[in-house]
Structure 1
Protein backbone atom coordinates (compact mmCIF):
# COMPACT_ATOMS: atom_id res chain seq x y z
CA UNK A 1 0.00 0.00 0.00
CA UNK A 2 2.79 2.36 0.89
CA UNK A 3 4.56 1.46 -2.37
CA UNK A 4 1.42 2.18 -4.36
CA UNK A 5 0.95 5.58 -2.65
CA UNK A 6 4.57 6.50 -3.33
CA UNK A 7 4.12 5.65 -7.00
CA UNK A 8 0.99 7.80 -7.19
CA UNK A 9 2.82 10.72 -5.57
CA UNK A 10 5.66 10.44 -8.09
CA UNK A 11 3.20 10.44 -11.00
CA UNK A 12 1.47 13.53 -9.63
CA UNK A 13 4.82 15.26 -9.25
CA UNK A 14 5.78 14.43 -12.84
CA UNK A 15 2.44 15.77 -14.11
CA UNK A 16 2.92 18.94 -12.09
CA UNK A 17 6.46 19.35 -13.45
CA UNK A 18 5.23 18.93 -17.02
CA UNK A 19 2.44 21.41 -16.41
CA UNK A 20 4.90 23.88 -14.94
CA UNK A 21 7.22 23.54 -17.94
CA UNK A 22 4.32 24.14 -20.33
CA UNK A 23 3.24 27.22 -18.35
CA UNK A 24 6.79 28.62 -18.34
CA UNK A 25 7.05 28.04 -22.07
CA UNK A 26 3.76 29.82 -22.69
CA UNK A 27 4.85 32.72 -20.50
CA UNK A 28 8.12 33.02 -22.39
CA UNK A 29 6.34 32.96 -25.73
CA UNK A 30 3.74 35.46 -24.55
CA UNK A 31 6.42 37.68 -23.09
CA UNK A 32 8.50 37.55 -26.26
CA UNK A 33 5.44 38.30 -28.34
CA UNK A 34 4.51 41.21 -26.12
CA UNK A 35 8.05 42.53 -26.29
CA UNK A 36 8.07 42.30 -30.08
CA UNK A 37 4.70 44.02 -30.21
CA UNK A 38 6.02 46.75 -27.94
CA UNK A 39 8.94 47.36 -30.29
CA UNK A 40 6.77 46.97 -33.41
CA UNK A 41 9.21 44.37 -34.69
CA UNK A 42 8.64 41.43 -36.94
CA UNK A 43 9.89 38.17 -35.39
CA UNK A 44 12.68 38.06 -37.98
CA UNK A 45 13.84 41.52 -36.90
CA UNK A 46 14.22 40.48 -33.26
CA UNK A 47 17.35 38.51 -34.10
CA UNK A 48 18.67 40.95 -36.71
CA UNK A 49 22.08 42.41 -35.98
CA UNK A 50 21.92 46.00 -37.12
CA UNK A 51 25.09 46.90 -38.98
CA UNK A 52 26.54 49.11 -41.68
CA UNK A 53 29.00 47.75 -44.21
CA UNK A 54 31.43 49.26 -46.67
CA UNK A 55 32.76 47.23 -49.56
CA UNK A 56 36.06 47.64 -51.40
CA UNK A 57 36.69 44.98 -54.02
CA UNK A 58 36.06 41.66 -52.33
CA UNK A 59 36.57 43.00 -48.80
CA UNK A 60 33.67 43.97 -46.54
CA UNK A 61 33.99 45.93 -43.30
CA UNK A 62 31.34 46.37 -40.60
CA UNK A 63 30.47 49.12 -38.16
CA UNK A 64 27.44 49.41 -35.92
CA UNK A 65 25.01 52.25 -36.80
CA UNK A 66 26.36 54.63 -34.14
CA UNK A 67 29.93 54.12 -35.33
CA UNK A 68 28.88 54.55 -38.97
CA UNK A 69 27.11 57.80 -38.11
CA UNK A 70 30.29 59.18 -36.55
CA UNK A 71 32.38 58.03 -39.51
CA UNK A 72 29.93 59.79 -41.83
CA UNK A 73 30.26 63.01 -39.84
CA UNK A 74 34.06 62.86 -39.98
CA UNK A 75 33.98 62.27 -43.74
CA UNK A 76 31.34 64.95 -44.27
CA UNK A 77 33.44 67.56 -42.49
CA UNK A 78 36.39 66.67 -44.73
CA UNK A 79 34.21 67.03 -47.81
CA UNK A 80 32.85 70.38 -46.66
CA UNK A 81 36.41 71.64 -46.14
CA UNK A 82 37.47 70.45 -49.58
CA UNK A 83 39.97 67.95 -48.18
CA UNK A 84 41.00 64.81 -50.08
CA UNK A 85 39.59 61.38 -49.18
CA UNK A 86 43.00 60.52 -47.70
CA UNK A 87 42.33 63.05 -44.95
CA UNK A 88 39.04 61.32 -44.11
CA UNK A 89 40.79 57.92 -44.10
CA UNK A 90 43.40 59.18 -41.64
CA UNK A 91 40.76 60.79 -39.41
CA UNK A 92 38.47 57.74 -39.37
CA UNK A 93 41.37 55.37 -38.63
CA UNK A 94 42.43 57.66 -35.79
CA UNK A 95 38.93 57.79 -34.30
CA UNK A 96 38.61 54.00 -34.51
CA UNK A 97 41.82 53.60 -32.55
CA UNK A 98 41.21 56.38 -30.03
CA UNK A 99 37.54 55.84 -29.19
CA UNK A 100 36.14 52.99 -31.27
CA UNK A 101 34.30 55.73 -33.21
CA UNK A 102 32.31 56.61 -30.10
CA UNK A 103 31.90 60.05 -28.60
CA UNK A 104 33.33 59.11 -25.20
CA UNK A 105 32.73 61.38 -22.23
CA UNK A 106 35.66 59.94 -20.33
CA UNK A 107 39.40 59.59 -20.85
CA UNK A 108 41.59 56.63 -21.67
CA UNK A 109 45.31 55.97 -21.24
CA UNK A 110 46.09 59.19 -23.10
CA UNK A 111 45.08 61.17 -20.04
CA UNK A 112 42.26 61.62 -17.53
CA UNK A 113 40.88 64.64 -19.37
CA UNK A 114 40.76 62.99 -22.83
CA UNK A 115 37.33 63.22 -24.41
CA UNK A 116 35.36 62.66 -27.58
CA UNK A 117 35.88 60.85 -30.86
CA UNK A 118 39.60 61.62 -30.97
CA UNK A 119 40.27 61.60 -27.21
CA UNK A 120 41.48 65.18 -27.42
CA UNK A 121 42.80 66.71 -24.21
CA UNK A 122 41.69 70.16 -23.10
CA UNK A 123 44.88 70.35 -21.04
CA UNK A 124 46.87 70.02 -24.27
CA UNK A 125 45.12 72.92 -25.98
CA UNK A 126 42.47 71.06 -27.99
CA UNK A 127 39.63 73.17 -26.58
CA UNK A 128 37.25 72.96 -23.66
CA UNK A 129 35.67 69.67 -22.63
CA UNK A 130 32.37 70.82 -24.11
CA UNK A 131 34.09 71.64 -27.40
CA UNK A 132 35.95 68.35 -27.81
CA UNK A 133 32.72 66.52 -26.99
CA UNK A 134 31.11 68.21 -30.01
CA UNK A 135 31.89 65.80 -32.89
CA UNK A 136 31.93 68.52 -35.53
CA UNK A 137 34.29 70.68 -33.49
CA UNK A 138 36.48 67.65 -32.76
CA UNK A 139 36.69 66.64 -36.41
CA UNK A 140 37.59 70.17 -37.46
CA UNK A 141 40.23 70.36 -34.72
CA UNK A 142 41.77 67.11 -35.95
CA UNK A 143 41.85 68.35 -39.56
CA UNK A 144 43.35 71.66 -38.41
CA UNK A 145 46.19 69.65 -36.90
CA UNK A 146 46.50 67.37 -39.93
CA UNK A 147 46.84 70.31 -42.32
CA UNK A 148 49.93 71.41 -40.38
CA UNK A 149 51.67 68.14 -41.25
CA UNK A 150 53.67 68.63 -44.49
CA UNK A 151 52.97 65.94 -47.08
CA UNK A 152 50.39 64.12 -44.99
CA UNK A 153 48.61 62.80 -48.09
CA UNK A 154 51.69 60.78 -49.03
CA UNK A 155 52.44 59.49 -45.54
CA UNK A 156 51.43 56.11 -44.12
CA UNK A 157 48.32 56.59 -42.02
CA UNK A 158 50.15 55.71 -38.82
CA UNK A 159 52.71 58.49 -39.36
CA UNK A 160 50.16 61.14 -40.30
CA UNK A 161 47.88 60.26 -37.38
CA UNK A 162 50.78 60.18 -34.94
CA UNK A 163 51.97 63.61 -36.08
CA UNK A 164 48.60 64.98 -34.98
CA UNK A 165 47.80 62.85 -31.93
CA UNK A 166 51.26 62.18 -30.39
CA UNK A 167 50.03 58.80 -29.14
CA UNK A 168 51.86 56.36 -26.88
CA UNK A 169 50.91 53.61 -29.36
CA UNK A 170 51.57 55.11 -32.80
CA UNK A 171 51.71 51.80 -34.69
CA UNK A 172 48.11 50.97 -33.71
CA UNK A 173 46.63 53.41 -36.23
CA UNK A 174 47.84 51.27 -39.12
CA UNK A 175 45.66 48.38 -37.93
CA UNK A 176 42.56 50.29 -38.97
CA UNK A 177 43.68 51.54 -42.38
CA UNK A 178 41.68 49.08 -44.57
CA UNK A 179 38.31 49.69 -42.92
CA UNK A 180 38.94 53.42 -42.61
CA UNK A 181 39.78 53.62 -46.31
CA UNK A 182 36.65 51.65 -47.24
CA UNK A 183 34.31 53.86 -45.23
CA UNK A 184 36.07 57.07 -46.28
CA UNK A 185 35.80 56.12 -49.95
CA UNK A 186 32.06 55.54 -49.62
CA UNK A 187 31.31 58.50 -47.37
CA UNK A 188 33.23 61.01 -49.50
CA UNK A 189 31.34 59.79 -52.56
CA UNK A 190 34.21 58.14 -54.42
CA UNK A 191 32.61 54.69 -54.22
CA UNK A 192 28.98 54.93 -55.26
CA UNK A 193 26.40 52.74 -53.48
CA UNK A 194 29.14 50.97 -51.53
CA UNK A 195 27.77 51.78 -48.08
CA UNK A 196 24.84 49.70 -46.90
CA UNK A 197 23.07 49.52 -43.55
CA UNK A 198 20.75 46.72 -42.47
CA UNK A 199 18.33 48.08 -39.87
CA UNK A 200 15.16 47.14 -38.04
CA UNK A 201 11.96 49.07 -38.67
CA UNK A 202 11.99 52.64 -37.39
CA UNK A 203 10.89 52.73 -33.75
CA UNK A 204 9.29 56.17 -33.95
CA UNK A 205 8.32 58.82 -36.47
CA UNK A 206 11.07 61.02 -37.82
CA UNK A 207 11.18 64.80 -38.04
CA UNK A 208 12.03 66.14 -41.52
CA UNK A 209 13.16 69.49 -40.10
CA UNK A 210 15.66 67.72 -37.83
CA UNK A 211 16.93 65.67 -40.79
CA UNK A 212 17.52 68.87 -42.77
CA UNK A 213 19.26 70.48 -39.80
CA UNK A 214 21.55 67.47 -39.33
CA UNK A 215 22.55 67.57 -43.00
CA UNK A 216 23.20 71.31 -42.84
CA UNK A 217 25.37 70.92 -39.72
CA UNK A 218 27.71 68.59 -41.60
CA UNK A 219 27.60 69.81 -45.19
CA UNK A 220 26.67 73.46 -44.75
CA UNK A 221 23.99 75.28 -46.66
CA UNK A 222 22.50 73.21 -49.45
CA UNK A 223 19.38 73.59 -51.53
CA UNK A 224 16.94 71.73 -49.28
CA UNK A 225 13.21 71.15 -49.60
CA UNK A 226 11.39 69.82 -46.53
CA UNK A 227 7.99 68.17 -46.87
CA UNK A 228 5.80 66.24 -44.44
CA UNK A 229 7.59 62.96 -45.02
CA UNK A 230 10.58 63.71 -47.26
CA UNK A 231 13.69 65.84 -47.40
CA UNK A 232 15.36 66.52 -50.74
CA UNK A 233 18.86 67.91 -51.12
CA UNK A 234 20.43 69.11 -54.35
CA UNK A 235 23.81 67.53 -55.06
CA UNK A 236 25.47 65.96 -58.06
CA UNK A 237 28.11 63.35 -58.81
CA UNK A 238 30.49 62.65 -55.94
CA UNK A 239 28.84 65.18 -53.62
CA UNK A 240 25.51 63.49 -54.29
CA UNK A 241 26.83 60.08 -53.35
CA UNK A 242 28.53 61.48 -50.27
CA UNK A 243 25.24 63.02 -49.15
CA UNK A 244 23.23 59.89 -49.96
CA UNK A 245 25.59 57.59 -48.09
CA UNK A 246 25.81 59.99 -45.16
CA UNK A 247 22.02 59.65 -44.97
CA UNK A 248 22.21 55.85 -45.05
CA UNK A 249 24.78 55.90 -42.23
CA UNK A 250 22.42 58.10 -40.20
CA UNK A 251 19.17 56.35 -41.11
CA UNK A 252 18.77 54.77 -37.67
CA UNK A 253 19.37 58.01 -35.75
CA UNK A 254 17.19 60.10 -38.09
CA UNK A 255 14.43 57.50 -38.58
CA UNK A 256 14.80 57.35 -42.35
CA UNK A 257 13.07 54.58 -44.27
CA UNK A 258 14.81 55.00 -47.63
CA UNK A 259 17.37 57.08 -49.52
CA UNK A 260 17.37 57.62 -53.29
CA UNK A 261 19.99 59.00 -55.64
CA UNK A 262 21.53 58.33 -59.03
CA UNK A 263 18.98 55.78 -60.23
CA UNK A 264 19.23 53.69 -57.05
CA UNK A 265 17.36 53.42 -53.78
CA UNK A 266 18.42 52.09 -50.38
CA UNK A 267 15.97 50.90 -47.74
CA UNK A 268 16.28 49.51 -44.22
CA UNK A 269 16.28 45.83 -45.16
CA UNK A 270 19.62 46.58 -46.81
CA UNK A 271 20.87 46.86 -50.34
CA UNK A 272 20.63 49.34 -53.20
CA UNK A 273 18.11 48.60 -55.94
CA UNK A 274 17.16 50.34 -59.18
CA UNK A 275 14.70 53.20 -58.84
CA UNK A 276 13.47 56.27 -60.67
CA UNK A 277 15.20 59.33 -59.25
CA UNK A 278 15.39 63.01 -60.04
CA UNK A 279 18.76 64.02 -61.53
CA UNK A 280 20.96 65.82 -59.02
CA UNK A 281 18.54 65.18 -56.15
CA UNK A 282 19.05 63.12 -53.03
CA UNK A 283 15.68 62.12 -51.56
CA UNK A 284 15.36 61.05 -47.95
CA UNK A 285 12.08 59.41 -46.88
CA UNK A 286 11.32 59.94 -43.21
CA UNK A 287 9.39 57.40 -41.16
CA UNK A 288 5.82 58.41 -40.40
CA UNK A 289 3.50 56.91 -37.82
CA UNK A 290 4.68 53.49 -36.66
CA UNK A 291 2.59 50.71 -38.15
CA UNK A 292 0.57 48.94 -35.45
Structure 2
Protein backbone atom coordinates (compact mmCIF):
# COMPACT_ATOMS: atom_id res chain seq x y z
CA UNK A 1 0.00 0.00 0.00
CA UNK A 2 1.23 3.43 -0.82
CA UNK A 3 2.40 5.46 2.10
CA UNK A 4 0.11 8.42 2.72
CA UNK A 5 1.50 11.61 3.92
CA UNK A 6 -0.58 12.75 6.82
CA UNK A 7 -2.32 15.96 6.01
CA UNK A 8 -2.52 18.78 8.50
CA UNK A 9 -5.93 19.77 9.49
CA UNK A 10 -6.94 23.07 7.94
CA UNK A 11 -6.31 25.92 10.28
CA UNK A 12 -9.39 27.58 11.53
CA UNK A 13 -9.67 31.32 11.27
CA UNK A 14 -10.73 32.75 14.51
CA UNK A 15 -13.36 35.33 14.27
CA UNK A 16 -12.51 38.47 16.11
CA UNK A 17 -14.20 38.34 19.40
CA UNK A 18 -16.53 41.16 20.29
CA UNK A 19 -14.76 41.23 23.62
CA UNK A 20 -11.66 42.64 21.93
CA UNK A 21 -13.57 45.71 20.72
CA UNK A 22 -14.77 46.74 24.13
CA UNK A 23 -11.46 48.23 25.31
CA UNK A 24 -11.70 50.74 22.43
CA UNK A 25 -15.19 51.71 23.51
CA UNK A 26 -14.04 52.07 27.10
CA UNK A 27 -11.12 54.24 26.04
CA UNK A 28 -13.47 56.49 24.08
CA UNK A 29 -15.79 56.81 27.03
CA UNK A 30 -12.87 57.55 29.32
CA UNK A 31 -11.60 60.22 26.92
CA UNK A 32 -15.06 61.81 26.72
CA UNK A 33 -15.40 61.86 30.52
CA UNK A 34 -11.94 63.40 30.84
CA UNK A 35 -12.82 66.14 28.35
CA UNK A 36 -16.05 66.88 30.20
CA UNK A 37 -14.21 67.12 33.50
CA UNK A 38 -11.64 69.45 31.94
CA UNK A 39 -14.43 71.64 30.52
CA UNK A 40 -16.20 71.81 33.88
CA UNK A 41 -12.94 72.64 35.63
CA UNK A 42 -12.23 75.43 33.13
CA UNK A 43 -15.72 76.88 33.67
CA UNK A 44 -15.25 76.79 37.45
CA UNK A 45 -11.90 78.58 37.14
CA UNK A 46 -13.43 81.20 34.81
CA UNK A 47 -16.25 81.78 37.32
CA UNK A 48 -13.80 82.20 40.18
CA UNK A 49 -11.73 84.69 38.16
CA UNK A 50 -14.84 86.68 37.24
CA UNK A 51 -15.98 86.77 40.88
CA UNK A 52 -12.56 88.00 42.03
CA UNK A 53 -12.58 90.72 39.34
CA UNK A 54 -16.05 91.81 40.46
CA UNK A 55 -14.98 92.02 44.10
CA UNK A 56 -11.92 94.07 43.13
CA UNK A 57 -14.13 96.44 41.12
CA UNK A 58 -16.57 96.88 43.99
CA UNK A 59 -13.71 97.52 46.40
CA UNK A 60 -12.29 100.15 44.06
CA UNK A 61 -15.67 101.84 43.78
CA UNK A 62 -16.08 101.84 47.55
CA UNK A 63 -12.64 103.29 48.10
CA UNK A 64 -13.37 106.02 45.53
CA UNK A 65 -16.75 106.71 47.13
CA UNK A 66 -15.11 107.11 50.53
CA UNK A 67 -12.52 109.63 49.27
CA UNK A 68 -12.06 112.66 51.48
CA UNK A 69 -13.91 115.87 50.69
CA UNK A 70 -11.84 119.02 51.07
CA UNK A 71 -12.90 122.67 51.02
CA UNK A 72 -10.34 125.47 51.04
CA UNK A 73 -10.86 129.15 51.78
CA UNK A 74 -9.52 132.06 49.69
CA UNK A 75 -6.07 131.70 51.28
CA UNK A 76 -5.85 128.01 50.36
CA UNK A 77 -6.27 126.81 53.92
CA UNK A 78 -8.71 123.95 54.71
CA UNK A 79 -11.93 125.05 56.33
CA UNK A 80 -12.19 124.07 59.95
CA UNK A 81 -14.32 121.02 60.66
CA UNK A 82 -17.93 122.02 61.08
CA UNK A 83 -17.54 125.22 59.05
CA UNK A 84 -20.53 125.83 56.77
CA UNK A 85 -21.67 128.31 54.18
CA UNK A 86 -25.38 129.12 54.30
CA UNK A 87 -25.74 126.04 56.52
CA UNK A 88 -24.10 123.60 54.06
CA UNK A 89 -21.02 121.56 54.96
CA UNK A 90 -18.08 120.13 53.02
CA UNK A 91 -19.89 117.28 51.24
CA UNK A 92 -22.72 119.53 50.13
CA UNK A 93 -20.38 122.34 49.07
CA UNK A 94 -18.34 119.89 46.99
CA UNK A 95 -21.54 118.90 45.19
CA UNK A 96 -22.42 122.56 44.68
CA UNK A 97 -18.97 123.07 43.16
CA UNK A 98 -19.61 120.21 40.74
CA UNK A 99 -22.90 121.84 39.73
CA UNK A 100 -21.26 125.22 39.15
CA UNK A 101 -18.39 123.67 37.19
CA UNK A 102 -20.85 121.75 35.01
CA UNK A 103 -22.63 125.03 34.28
CA UNK A 104 -19.39 126.67 33.21
CA UNK A 105 -18.64 123.67 30.98
CA UNK A 106 -21.95 123.95 29.09
CA UNK A 107 -21.84 127.75 28.92
CA UNK A 108 -24.65 128.39 31.40
CA UNK A 109 -24.70 131.96 32.79
CA UNK A 110 -24.36 132.71 36.49
CA UNK A 111 -28.12 132.96 37.04
CA UNK A 112 -28.59 129.46 35.61
CA UNK A 113 -25.94 128.22 38.03
CA UNK A 114 -27.82 129.76 40.94
CA UNK A 115 -31.06 128.12 39.78
CA UNK A 116 -29.32 124.75 39.47
CA UNK A 117 -27.82 124.92 42.96
CA UNK A 118 -31.14 126.16 44.36
CA UNK A 119 -32.93 123.23 42.73
CA UNK A 120 -30.49 120.69 44.16
CA UNK A 121 -30.90 122.27 47.59
CA UNK A 122 -34.66 121.90 47.34
CA UNK A 123 -34.56 118.37 45.96
CA UNK A 124 -31.82 116.66 47.95
CA UNK A 125 -30.20 119.13 50.33
CA UNK A 126 -27.15 119.03 48.00
CA UNK A 127 -26.64 115.31 48.65
CA UNK A 128 -26.45 112.50 46.11
CA UNK A 129 -29.45 110.48 47.31
CA UNK A 130 -29.81 106.87 46.28
CA UNK A 131 -33.55 106.84 46.95
CA UNK A 132 -36.69 108.73 46.05
CA UNK A 133 -39.88 109.56 47.94
CA UNK A 134 -43.51 108.46 47.94
CA UNK A 135 -44.33 110.61 44.91
CA UNK A 136 -41.24 109.62 42.94
CA UNK A 137 -39.80 106.36 44.29
CA UNK A 138 -37.51 106.07 41.26
CA UNK A 139 -35.99 109.54 41.76
CA UNK A 140 -32.22 109.61 42.30
CA UNK A 141 -29.28 111.95 42.77
CA UNK A 142 -28.81 115.64 43.52
CA UNK A 143 -31.78 116.68 41.38
CA UNK A 144 -33.98 113.65 42.18
CA UNK A 145 -34.29 112.94 38.47
CA UNK A 146 -36.81 110.29 37.50
CA UNK A 147 -36.15 107.02 35.72
CA UNK A 148 -38.24 107.99 32.70
CA UNK A 149 -35.55 108.01 30.03
CA UNK A 150 -35.22 111.78 29.99
CA UNK A 151 -32.41 112.04 32.52
CA UNK A 152 -30.09 109.26 31.42
CA UNK A 153 -29.09 106.07 33.18
CA UNK A 154 -28.97 105.39 36.90
CA UNK A 155 -25.23 106.16 36.82
CA UNK A 156 -25.93 109.48 35.06
CA UNK A 157 -28.48 110.53 37.65
CA UNK A 158 -26.14 109.59 40.50
CA UNK A 159 -23.23 111.52 38.98
CA UNK A 160 -23.20 115.19 40.18
CA UNK A 161 -21.57 116.52 37.01
CA UNK A 162 -23.67 114.56 34.50
CA UNK A 163 -26.96 115.13 36.32
CA UNK A 164 -26.19 118.86 36.57
CA UNK A 165 -25.34 119.06 32.86
CA UNK A 166 -28.67 117.40 32.02
CA UNK A 167 -30.48 119.88 34.26
CA UNK A 168 -28.80 122.81 32.50
CA UNK A 169 -29.76 121.48 29.07
CA UNK A 170 -33.41 121.28 30.12
CA UNK A 171 -33.32 124.74 31.74
CA UNK A 172 -31.59 126.48 28.83
CA UNK A 173 -34.04 124.88 26.40
CA UNK A 174 -36.87 126.88 27.99
CA UNK A 175 -37.34 129.87 25.69
CA UNK A 176 -38.23 132.31 28.48
CA UNK A 177 -36.31 130.93 31.45
CA UNK A 178 -34.46 134.21 32.12
CA UNK A 179 -37.72 136.15 32.42
CA UNK A 180 -39.18 133.68 34.91
CA UNK A 181 -38.77 133.77 38.66
CA UNK A 182 -36.00 131.32 39.63
CA UNK A 183 -38.41 129.02 41.48
CA UNK A 184 -40.78 128.95 38.50
CA UNK A 185 -37.95 128.21 36.08
CA UNK A 186 -36.83 125.32 38.29
CA UNK A 187 -40.41 124.08 38.50
CA UNK A 188 -40.72 124.08 34.69
CA UNK A 189 -37.73 121.75 34.51
CA UNK A 190 -38.56 119.51 37.46
CA UNK A 191 -42.35 119.42 36.97
CA UNK A 192 -42.99 119.15 40.70
CA UNK A 193 -46.24 119.83 42.55
CA UNK A 194 -45.44 123.30 43.91
CA UNK A 195 -43.80 125.94 41.74
CA UNK A 196 -42.95 127.96 44.86
CA UNK A 197 -41.11 125.05 46.49
CA UNK A 198 -37.60 126.26 45.60
CA UNK A 199 -38.14 129.91 46.50
CA UNK A 200 -36.80 129.67 50.06
CA UNK A 201 -33.52 128.11 48.86
CA UNK A 202 -32.60 130.92 46.47
CA UNK A 203 -30.77 133.19 49.01
CA UNK A 204 -28.60 130.27 50.16
CA UNK A 205 -27.90 129.26 46.55
CA UNK A 206 -26.88 132.83 45.76
CA UNK A 207 -24.45 132.83 48.71
CA UNK A 208 -22.93 129.44 47.90
CA UNK A 209 -22.50 130.17 44.18
CA UNK A 210 -20.89 133.51 45.02
CA UNK A 211 -18.39 131.79 47.34
CA UNK A 212 -17.52 129.27 44.61
CA UNK A 213 -17.35 131.62 41.61
CA UNK A 214 -15.44 134.33 43.46
CA UNK A 215 -12.91 131.66 44.47
CA UNK A 216 -13.31 132.41 48.16
CA UNK A 217 -14.22 128.75 48.42
CA UNK A 218 -12.81 125.75 46.58
CA UNK A 219 -14.17 122.26 47.19
CA UNK A 220 -13.02 119.00 45.68
CA UNK A 221 -12.88 115.27 46.28
CA UNK A 222 -9.42 114.38 47.58
TM-score w.r.t. the length of structure 2 is 0.60
* 1:115–1:132 contact (8 Å) kept in structure 2: yes
Flag the structure with more relative contact order, 1 or 2, with Cα contacts below 8 A and sequence separation at least 6. 2
Which of 180, 183, 199 does residue 205 from structure 2 map onto?
A: 180
The structure where helix makes up a greater share of residues is 2
TM superposition outliers: structure 1 runs of 4+ over 3 Å: none
Could you tell me how far apart the structure 1 residues matched to 2:188 and 2:202 are? 16
Find the aligned partners of 1:108 and 1:97 in 2 and give their Cα distance. 13
Q: Which runs of 5+ in 1 are unaligned?
A: 1-47, 54-60, 194-244, 255-292
Aligned residues: 143
Cα deviation, 1:188-220, whole Å, max 9, x if unaligned, reads: 33xx53xxxxxxxxxxxxxxxxxxxxxxxxxxx
Determine if the alignment matches structure 1 residue 80 to structure 2 residue 112: no
Whole-Å separation in 1 of the counterparts to 2:142 and 2:155: 13
In structure 2, the gaps of 5 or more residues are: 1-79
**SS state at 1:98 partner:** helix
RMSD over aligned Cα atoms: 1.7
Whether 1:170 and 2:195 are equivalent positions in the alignment is yes
User: Which SS does the other structure have where 1:172 is aligned?
Assistant: coil
Is 1:249 equivalent to 2:219 in the alignment? yes
CA distance in 2, matches of 1:110, 1:98: 13
Which residue of the partner structure matches residue 50 of structure 1?
82
Residue 152 of structure 1 and its aligned partner are, at CA, apart by 1.5
User: Quick one: distance in 2 between partners of 1:140 and 1:132?
Assistant: 10
Q: Superposition pairs for residues 24-63 of structure 1, below 5 Å?
A: 49-53=81-85, 61-63=86-88
Matched, 1:67 2:37: no
What is the CA–CA distance in structure 2 between the aligned matches of 1:110 and 1:139, rounded to whole Å?
A: 22
Greater share of residues in strand:
1
| Structure 1 position 132 matched with structure 2 position 157 | yes
Match of 2:138 among 95, 102, 113: 113
Question: Could you tell me whether the CA contact under 8 Å between 1:74 and 1:92 is conserved in 2?
Answer: yes
User: How high is the TM-score relative to the length of structure 1?
Assistant: 0.46
